[in-house]
Structure 1
Amino acid sequence: MQTMERADWEPRAAAHAARVDALVAPHMARRASGVAHPVHDFLFTYYSQRPGQLRRWHPGWGTRLLDAADHDRLKGYADGTVTHDHVAAQRPLVESVHRLLSATASRPAHLGCFGMHEWAMVYRLGPDDTRHAAWPLRLGPAGTDTVVESHRITCSHFDAYRFFTPPARGLNVLRPTAGDRAEHEQPGCLHAGMDLYKHAFRLTPMIASELVADCFELARDIRLVDMRAAPYDLTSLGVEPLAVETATGKAEYAAAQRGFAERGAPLRARLVEACERLLAV
């Protein structure tokens, strides 16, 4: 067990809080004004961690903080450290995350989906029935349906696939379920990359908060590309479309996937390593 004096851990906690404040400031300003954003709100609505939780710093399992009364009031802490009992109680979660991330890391990145998951979520819907009805479809309903019907739909991520419209589900090559994620997820998937943030914050406070923030930054960058490639016209928000229905757009999307897979690989490896440390407790 490593011990940290307050003079050593307090600057790390302050630096983490300042980093997160800078990352979430636009969201907090919009929330205070009651302004919705179809791209960035996702990181705080679909994912359940609140900005204040992301801001709080934890050193992770194996470090005892001296003079840390605030931490001792948090779930899972006693005497300045995450307790053995808390780690033991979280073992099923740690095993599940370890199994999924290890399986994902073992596969090559597949780069041929071209973001069709967002298109399949609006397939054959009326303009008022889409998830972001305040923003029009860039090609209109008929043009959007044509794009879906002219592509091979290969979504491997259950949490994207489950939002497909009923007629779109039958077009998908795979049938992922909540119970077989480890059999399908692969590192080229944008949603698998964004979900590194979900896995990281679910392991809080057992892992270092710097790793959680690293995963959040990756998720933020992926989400922008995810919605640039979506069928919505978001140019009024300064979000330039990535026209995946064209050869040029497909090439740009695949290049972005490759880049995110490369950025996500070391984060996934760090999460796997953290899980293995926790499973050894």
Structure 2
Amino acid sequence: MWRARAEAHRRRVEAWTAPHLERRLRGETHPVEDFLFSYYGHRPARLRQWHPGAGVVLAGARDFGRGYVDTPEGATLDTAALLDRRGATVEWIARLLSATAARPAHFGCFGLHEWAMVYRAAEVRHGAWPLRLGGEEIARVVEERGVRCSHFDAFRFFTPEARPLNVLQPTRERQRELEQPGCLHANMDLYKWAYKLSPLVSGELVADCFALARDIRAVDMRASPYDLSPLGYRPIRIETPEGRAEYAAEQRGFAERARLQRRRLLDACERLPAASG
């Protein structure tokens, strides 16, 4: 049973990692498909590696890998030893996830964080791809709509000129106070928290969070001022009422998917003390 799970995980993840590695060999980059590997820094080999999670015995397994111990029934994760080393990290992640889950979701940002990253900029992050609008038109949209970003790791990439236009001034120290469950970046980050909790959580949960983050990234860039239509990404024109309505609908759908994944991560954290002893 567990061998079938491990193989299914490997096949699923290979569909994401193999094209990324092929592009890397060719010296190519993809602004959507490669982002989760370059930004989060979790290596493809680590994503491919399957774990059952804490408290699971792999029947008949021996020498399963680092962090595992053999028992008469099979191999199992040495949860107590892992928590001795990483307990503070697990607690920090659980507190952030819990605080975010308890907050109401907000859906009025319309993806303008990506616009604030190119606002009055001489150079842009994805310079290989053209912008849909000129610099002055981008500036007009940002200034007229305003920016309402609550996520520090998006805010820190704003241009210096854009930062004062944001309603909030997020900091790393205020992360737990400000993150909210409607935010695309907070929901994308569930992948980060999942792999940081691995191998205490299952490989399937890490992969589910990756899949969610991948879908979010596509919408994030479709709503940006970049033109990725040659790659097959139809723009969400948030500079129009119709585009803002489409973006908010996508955002609500991601918030619901993220709610379920966040709950699974929290449940896994809450089970850890029992699993370790």
3-state SS of paired residue (2:182)? coil
How many corresponding residue pairs?
270
Contact kept? 2:119, 2:142, Cα under 8 Å: yes
Partner of 2:68 in structure 1? 77
Match of 1:52 among 20, 45, 62: 45
Match of 1:125 among 121, 125, 133: 121
Alignment partner of 1:178 is 2:172? yes
Letter in 2 for 1:169: R
Partner of 2:130 in structure 1? 136
Greater alpha carbon shift after TM alignment, 246-255 vs 85-94: 85-94
Question: Which blocks of at least 5 consecutive residues in structure 2 are unaligned?
Answer: none
Contact kept? 1:91, 1:279, Cα under 8 Å: no
Contact kept? 1:137, 1:144, Cα under 8 Å: no
Report deviation, 1:242. 0.8
3-state SS of paired residue (1:150)? helix
Alignment partner of 1:232 is 2:223? no
Partner of 1:61 in structure 2? 54
Alignment partner of 1:103 is 2:99? yes
Report deviation, 1:77. 2.6
3-state SS of paired residue (2:145)? coil
Contact kept? 2:32, 2:214, Cα under 8 Å: no
Letter in 1 for 2:77: V
CA root-mean-square deviation: 1.4
Q: Distance in 2 between matches of 1:89 and 1:141?
A: 49
3-state SS of paired residue (2:57)? strand
Q: Distance in 2 between matches of 1:22 and 1:258?
A: 27
Report deviation, 1:66. 4.5
Partner of 2:112 in structure 1? 116
Report deviation, 1:69. 4.5
Alignment partner of 1:219 is 2:210? no
Greater alpha carbon shift after TM alignment, 50-59 vs 218-227: 50-59
Alignment partner of 1:13 is 2:9? no
Q: Distance in 1 between matches of 2:37 and 2:203?
A: 17
Q: Distance in 2 between matches of 1:100 and 1:120?
A: 25
TM-score, L = length of structure 2: 0.93
Question: Which blocks of at least 5 consecutive residues in structure 1 are unaligned?
Answer: 1-7
Q: Distance in 1 between matches of 2:273 and 2:146?
A: 40
Partner of 1:3 in structure 2? none
Partner of 1:252 in structure 2? 246
Report deviation, 1:225. 0.1
Question: What pairs with 1:150-165 in structure 2 (closer than 5 Å)?
Answer: 150-165=144-159
Question: CA offsets, 1:97-141, max 9 Å, x none?
Answer: 111111111112100000000000111112xx1101111211011
Q: Distance in 2 between matches of 1:71 and 1:64?
A: 11
Contact kept? 1:54, 1:213, Cα under 8 Å: yes
3-state SS of paired residue (2:40)? coil
Alignment partner of 1:91 is 2:82? no
Contact kept? 1:197, 1:215, Cα under 8 Å: yes
Partner of 1:243 in structure 2? 237
Q: Distance in 2 between matches of 1:147 and 1:32?
A: 39
Report deviation, 1:70. 5.3
Q: Distance in 2 between matches of 1:210 and 1:183?
A: 29
Contact kept? 2:63, 2:69, Cα under 8 Å: no
Match of 2:161 among 162, 167, 172: 167
Report deviation, 1:254. 0.2
Q: Distance in 1 between matches of 2:7 and 2:52?
A: 12
Report deviation, 1:71. 2.6
Match of 1:195 among 176, 189, 193: 189
TM-score, L = length of structure 1: 0.92
Q: Distance in 1 between matches of 2:154 and 2:94?
A: 21
